[in-house]
Each structure stands twice: as structure tokens, then as C-alpha cells.
Amino acid sequence: MRVHQVEVLVVGGGAAGMAAAASAACYGARTLLVEQGPRLGGVLDQCIHPGFGLHRYREELTGPEFAHRLEGELQGIELWTGCTLLSLDPTCPRARAVGEDGVVEVHAQAVVWATGARERPWGALRIPGPRPSGIFPAGLAQRMVNIHGLLPGRRALILGSGDIGLVMARRLHLEGVEVVAVAEVRPFPGGLLRNVVQCLHDFEIPLWLGSTVVEVHGRQRLEGVTVAAMDEEGRPLPGTGRFVPVDTLILSVGLLPEVEGIPFAPRNPTTGGLAVSSRLQTAVPWLFGAGNCLAAFDLVDTVAALGGQAGTEAARFAQRELSTVKTTPVRTGRNVAAIIPSFLVPGEPVTLYLRASLPLAEARVDVGSGIVRRAVRAVRPAEMVTVALSGEESAALACREEAVVEVIPLR
Amino acid sequence: MRVAVIGGGVVGTLVARELSRYEGEVLLFEREPDVGWGVTKANSAIVHAGFHERLGTLCARFCVEGNALFPEVCRELEVPFQDIGGFVLALADGEKTVVEALHAQGVEIGVPGLVLLAQDEVRAQVPHVNPDVVAALWAPTVGITEPWGLAVAAAENACANGASLHVGEEVKGIAVAKGQVRAVTTDCTTYKVDAVVNAAGLYADRIAALVGVSTPRLIPRRGEYLLLVDVPSELRTAVLFPIPTPHSKGILVVPTVDGALLLGPTAANLSPEGKGATETTARGLVRILAGARRLVPELPVGKAVKAFAGLRPEPEDGDFWLGDTSVRRFYQAAGMRSPGLTAAPAVARWLAEEIAADLSLAPRPSFDPVRPALPHAANLPLEKWEKLIAADRRFGRVVCRCNQVTEGEIVAAVARGARTLDGVKFRTRAGFGRCQGGFCTDAILAILARELETGPENIGIRGPASALIVGRVR
């Protein structure tokens, strides 16, 4: 088995990994990027719709265009595509990877984990019925259509109004599939408002709020689904079930951070992803995390920005420039469902990313019982709230045992 | 001499393999496109110790014998088998007597190693179980295996020893003359045969009726399951049983050989027309969780990735139907209720000996009991994996990231007979992991289409009727 020495190993060649590798190399670290697929880009490759890059590049790009830009920033790194990470040693930054040239052991000084997220599978929903073909996670359907040019069905229902579901409703409609509706179990949409408008309203695709699929039908191919309205506790209302004949059910029911490859790294209990500090460092000092393996972010621009930071921090760690500091734990309080990061480094600026539990017209974000206060408008669970803290503010929060983050309604 | 075996489940394939130890020709018929897709595909995958069975039944005799044979058969066929043992938990004082009765019954029928455990002993050995536990029966010979893998392996081994496998071919008629079977007619053609073995699982009563052999009714009993992946290893140390119900072994917590955790089964008797009804139900899924949580209160239910159901044949008379019948040379290995999987190797060996004696078949000198498994690259020593890659680069391309399955393995599975996504999944475990194929289904579809030289619209989960796609985008 070959042994390969680098300073920073980046795992995953999507937006976060590419940005991490670019910035680690820019900082002067000898950097290796491993990507399982045959080319870089990750999920961007299949996102042929526009809407990417408004923050990072100040223009509207498609997914492949965004990936191409990022790829252009990769100067002076080693790149192994078609290479799968098999294991990472919990005790030191040594990894084993396999590709067409065999198995390689990589010895690094620091590792950036940027493996993205997977889609929650159908079986996790525990919706009764037989197991016909025609039920697709939205991302898989997107890959079928946009990468392989294959059509998954003729008449579809989208379950879940996450962004991929909304985008796929439009995509399938444009390919001549009859999209009956998007059903969302909650009383509000799960995706960005702009996607509700641009993907559903503009094409007159109905959005059924407060309803879900309670049973599927069809032994071989899907023949239809039973859709029922939900009560306030999210249980199906008896007597509201109706049969909707479709041959395709597209699922947009949540993304799960893909972190099973490193079971030794502590998780963020509010996201299921890696728990990281404001330096994007995990409790394993040489291991950093970036992108959707921390939490499912709304925008690829955010993912790339986090990747860029993680790459720099990892390079600093590899070059022994990152000191060990006492951090302040971050906790969720009222009306906060998810928060990133999990720890603050006092004195260093940080952007908090939080997801509210409920929609609020006007609200205030409160960190550390009043140490930091920010007014925010129109809080929606579908859209992450960002709160930029200065170095002084993160230093001030160090006087608390933990920094509790709350979203407080203003009226 | 020619013997037809009807049914390519774990019983039929093992019977075919045991018959291939003898001279003569073996034809194995399976109406599905692949072996192991009936009862074999969706059961608890447990190799039972036998203590659930009553003395004097065929179930008891062949369960104990089959349990003893399992390690050897799985070694020869290179099928996963782990003798992890099992506990029957008594969760109330009233249940203690039941556990003691199971112990006595097990000892009586010859189950080795049974031990009654007091409360503190159970808690020490399986600290994750319900703290209300008052006692338990420990059965060290309880094991876990991969039933569909066993069926595939037995069929491959039978074929390597001269048998022929006819998948996608349904037996429609059996000719009987002068009280003896003469020929088998399928939806393709007619084969002259000297003997027939009925191993048709859920449909064994229909096959028996074709020759006029009357049987008790076979009741389809639906069992629903929930599969959890990436569970803590302390939950996977042994099989956990509740005390049995009057009808079944109850809802269990079962580690699987590939690192997952299976909860179930329910037990719902269906009408005889319900033999295809493998859907899950809202009520069943609630029952599974309630039953499993009774054994292990802190179950990581959020790790559920798949709900499924299987049907098992429940013979009305409560015991296996084995051996010769009123029609000469029409044999049965049927009515294989639980513990049918465990009993299968012993039933197959015994039945093949009976048939060989009746037909005066001589042993086949060239019989080779070993079936080399598909290589699972990620489980091989590194040098062996590197050798595979050096010979074929596709063993370096990981397609299923959850279970680290390479393209080389998928291509090999197709070469060994996989024609569908399920065929690939059950042979390689690609698509069996936490993403349930979300990442790799399109890649596997493309490999299948390429290897089978057909369009992707012709490839389905279980055949063309369950195709994934309907065509190309415009």
C-alpha cells in the first residue's frame, strides 16, 4: 500500500470541499482533495437551474457554472477524483482511500470533512403500503433527469416542499410530466420563498399545505397515493384521505448530514451534523468540518464561505499556528430549532446560523440573555437567520457558562 | 434420472444442492426472475435454537438438526453466519414461568447450552434491555444469517454441480400416470421427469393440488419489519425474544449480519387470496415499535431506513409437510413455517437421501460443496483488494458508499445472474445502507443496462414491470 504525505486532506469535492482546498492551498499548505465521483462539483453538477453565486460572485449562476468558477480557484492542489475515503483513524489524521490505482494511506496534519448531506430515504418516513417503483428522493430524480437524461414518470406528486422538491416540481413540469401538486405536512412551505414563487406559482403548480401522503398503492409500479389533511398536532385527520393517481412520488423530506464515516467526532444535537467551533474545528483538534455535513444550509454561497474558512483554519492548524483556547458552548433557546456553530472562540468574530422553529413576522435574536441583541424581520423556518458577531461580542459572551440563542417575538 | 425441484427459496435451492451430491439431473424451477424472493426474502434471518418447538414435531427435530448443520453449510457456501446467541426475556413475574417452560422444552428436545438467568445476570449481560426484566433464557446456539444469500449460494452451488436453474419459469402442470409423476409443464415447455419436489413455499398447497395430493390449508401470515442502520454496537450483541404468543415468537429485536438492527415481525393471518399482500400497514408499524420498545426501551427509531413485510406459510396443521406422498415420487419440503429457515439444511439433506434411495442414485464423485462468494472488496485484506484492482480497475470504483460496494462487485453479480436492482442489492448489499440507494441507484441502473446490453427503461426493482424510468427526457 502506498503512503502519501500532505498537510491538509480535504474529503469531498463539492462546494465546501473545493473552497476549503482552495483556501488551504492559498494559505500555503500542501493540500490533497479527494472526491468520490468522477469529477468535481458534488450536487452542484445536477443543479442546472440558476440562483447560485449571488453572494460569492455577485451574479446569478447555475450550479455547474458555480462549480466551474470554484474549480478555477483550485490552484496548486493535488486532486484525486474517483477516490473514496474508506476510513479515518480516530487517533491521528491518517486516512485510507481507494481508487482505480489501488488503496492509499494518506498521512496529513489536518483534515477537512466536507462530505455534504444525503436525502432522508422513503423507508424512514414509515408510510404504509407496498414497495413499488416510482418513489424517488428528489435529488436522485434530479440526477436521473439532468445528468442521465432519463424521465422518472408521467404524473407526479411531490412530497415535501424543501428547495429540491420545489425545483424538481418545475423541472418535471418543463419536461412534460404532469405535476399534480406539492404536498407539505406543515402549514408553511419548507423551501425558500423565492422558490415557491419561481417554481410553483409561475407554473400554476398547487401547493397543498398541511397535507401529506398516508399510504402508497401499486405492487410493481406506483399507481397512486392517499393524501390526507393534518390536524394541528401533525396527525392525519380521519375522513380526509383521498386517492391521487400518480405513477411517481418525489420526496423532498429533509437532508441528513453525511457524517457516519467519522463516528468518533461529536455531533451537533440540533442538526445531526458535526459539532464545530466558530473556527469550524471539531472536538478532535485536527478535524475540521464545512458545508452540509454540519447542517443543511440554504445557499451554496454559505457552504462555500464555510469551506473557505475551514480550509484556512486547517492550514493554520497544520502549520502549528492555531492555539488551543477555551470555547463558549452555544445552546438553542426559545424558538430556535438549529444553531451552528456549537462553540464560540472568545474574541474572534463569528457568524451564527440559526433556524427558527416557527414563523414570526417581527422578532429579535437574543444571545447570552441580552449580551447580543439583533432585530430580524420575517423569521421563517425555511430560511436560515444569520447573525454576525464581532470579536468584542464573542468575547463578552465568554462570561456566560453557555451562550443561549433565542428568537423572541416583538409583538 | 431427472428430478424437478419446484420453488427457488432457501428450501428448494438447498434441496437442489443436496440432490446434486448424487448422479442424475436436477432442474430447479422458480417463477420469479431470481431465487430467494418469496418467503426467503423477508423473514427474521434467525437460525433458531429450537426451544420454541414442541417435542415430537418435525419442526423440533429439523430445527435442532438444522441449527447444528448451519455453520458447516454457511462455511461451504461462504454465506454470512454469526452464532451470537439469544435471550428470551421475562419482563414480569408471570412471564418467568413461561421462560422456565421454554427451558424445559428445549432441554427435552435436545437444544444444547440453554441457561436460565436471574435478573442480575441478565442485566449484566444485556444492560440495554428493559429494566423490568425479571429473568431470561439464554440460548447460545441462536444465530443470524442471510437467507436470500443462502438461497443464491445454494442455487449457484447446485448449478456448479450439474443442476440447471430455470428462473422466471412457472410450473403450470405435473403429469401423473399410473400413480407416479412423469413430467412437469411450465409456461415455457414440458420436461419429462422421474421425481418432483414441492418446495413452493406459500404456494405449496397449489402445487400439491396439481397432482391431486390433498394438504391442509396454507395460511399466509404477514410479518412486518422495520430496519435500523448505524445503531450503537451494544444494541447488537444478541437476538432478543419476548415470551412467545400463542401464535408466534412475538416481536423481536434482531441484529443483522451486515450491522443493522431488525425489529419485528408482526403476525397477521391473511385469507388464502392474500398471498401477494406484502404491504406494510399503519397498525403493523405501530405494533412493531411498541413490541420492540418493550424489550429495548431506548431504541434509536430515528435510524429507521426501511419498513417492509413478508409472508410466511402457516400450515393449518402446525407442522412441516416432508417426504413422500400418496403420489409416487412426488415429495414435499413444504409447510415450512418458522423455523423453516433453520430447518432447511437438515430437511434438504434428509430429503435428498430419501430420494436418492428411492431412485437408486449413486453419489456424484465430482461433487464440490464449496461455493466461492462474490468478493466483497471492502472486507478483504488490503493486499487481496489491491490484487483485484490490479486485475480489474472497476474494483477500485466505489459505487455504494454506505456499504462500500465497488463497480467490480456489481458487474460480478450481474455475471452471476442479477438482472434487477433487487438482484444486485441482495447479492452485493449495494443500496442496502443508510441512503437506501439515494446516492447509487442511477449508477447501478446504468451498470445493469450496460452489462445486460439493454435500455435503462427495461431495468426494474424486480423486473420490467417495476421499471424505474419511463423513457428519455425530450
Domains and CATH numbers, chain B: 2-40+147-216+318-359 (3.50.50.60), 86-140 (no CATH), 224-310 (3.30.9.10), 377-466 (1.10.10)
Catalytic pick among B48, B52, B103, B128 = B48
Contact B226 A126 (CB under 8 A): yes
Tell me which residue in A82, A118, A147 faces B435 most closely, judged by beta carbons: A118
pLDDT of the residue at A233: 82
Return the closest-CA partner of residue B416 out of B161, B163, B152: B152
Contacts of A245 by beta carbon, 8 Å cutoff, 6+ apart: A155, A223, A224
Taking a contact as any Cβ pair under 8 Å apart, which residues of chain B between 428 and 457 contact chain A? 434-439, 441-442, 446, 456-457
| CB-based contact, B268 to chain A, within 8 Å | no
Which H or E run includes A300? helix A300-318
Beta strand segments in B301-373, E: 304-315, 321-324, 330-334
Contact A130 B279 (CB under 8 A): yes
Q: Would you place residue A411 in the very low, low, confident or very high pLDDT band (cuts 50, 70, 90)?
A: confident
CA distances from A297 to A96, A354, B30, B123 (A): 29, 10, 49, 43
B166 flagged as catalytic: no
CA distance A282 to chain B (A): 21
Contact A103 B382 (CB under 8 A): yes
Contact A100 B438 (CB under 8 A): no
CA distance A335 to chain B (A): 22
* A202-214 pLDDT tens trace: 999 999 999 999 9
C-alpha cell read off for A204: 400554476
Return the minimum-mean-pLDDT range out of A231-235, B13-17, B253-257, B289-293: A231-235
Return the closest-CA partner of residue A8 out of A277, A274, A252, A316: A316
What's chain A's average pLDDT? 96
Contacts of A116 in chain B (CB under 8 A): none
When pLDDT is averaged across residues B194-217 and rounded to a whole number, the result is 97
Q: Name B222's bridge partners.
A: B268, B311
The yes or no reply on domain A1-120+255-320 and CATH 3.50.50.60 is: yes
| CB-based contact, B460 to chain A, within 8 Å | yes
Contacts of B405 in chain A (CB under 8 A): none
Contacts of B457 in chain A (CB under 8 A): 150
CA distances from B30 to B180, B187, B277, B311 (A): 23, 11, 19, 17
Contacts of A152 in chain B (CB under 8 A): 468-470
Buried b or exposed e, range B423-437, using 16+ CB within 10 angstroms: bbbbbbbbbbbbbbb
| CB-based contact, B281 to chain A, within 8 Å | yes
- Which residue bears the cell 440563542? A405
Contacts of B473 in chain A (CB under 8 A): 145, 149-151, 175
CA distance A375 to chain B (A): 35
Contacts of B422 by beta carbon, 8 Å cutoff, 6+ apart: B34, B37, B461, B462
Contact A98 B389 (CB under 8 A): yes
pLDDT of the residue at B275: 87
The reply to whether domains A1-120+255-320 and A121-253 share a CATH topology is: yes
Chain A residue with minimum CA distance to B421: A133
CA distance A26 to chain B (A): 30
- Residue B427 DSSP SS3: helix
Tell me which residue in B377, B466, B471 faces A151 most closely, judged by beta carbons: B471
CA distance B124 to chain A (A): 26
Q: Would you place residue A100 in the very low, low, confident or very high pLDDT band (cuts 50, 70, 90)?
A: very high
C-alpha cell read off for B352: 435428498
Contacts of A101 in chain B (CB under 8 A): 389, 396
pTM: 0.96
Q: Name A343's bridge partners.
A: A277, A329
* B319-361 pLDDT tens trace: 999 999 999 999 999 999 999 999 999 999 999 999 999 999 9
pLDDT surpassing 90 at residue A137: yes
* B75-125 pLDDT tens trace: 999 999 999 999 999 999 999 999 999 999 999 999 999 999 999 999 999
Tell me which residue in B278, B382, B469 faces A144 most closely, judged by beta carbons: B469
Instruction: Indicate the domain borders of chain A.
Output: 1-120+255-320, 121-253, 327-411
What class is the A121-253 domain? alpha beta
What's chain B's average pLDDT? 97
pLDDT of the residue at B273: 83
Contact at 8 Å (CB) between A17 and A9?
Answer: no
Contacts of A176 in chain B (CB under 8 A): 474
ipTM above 0.90, yes or no: yes
Contact at 8 Å (CB) between B149 and B432?
Answer: no
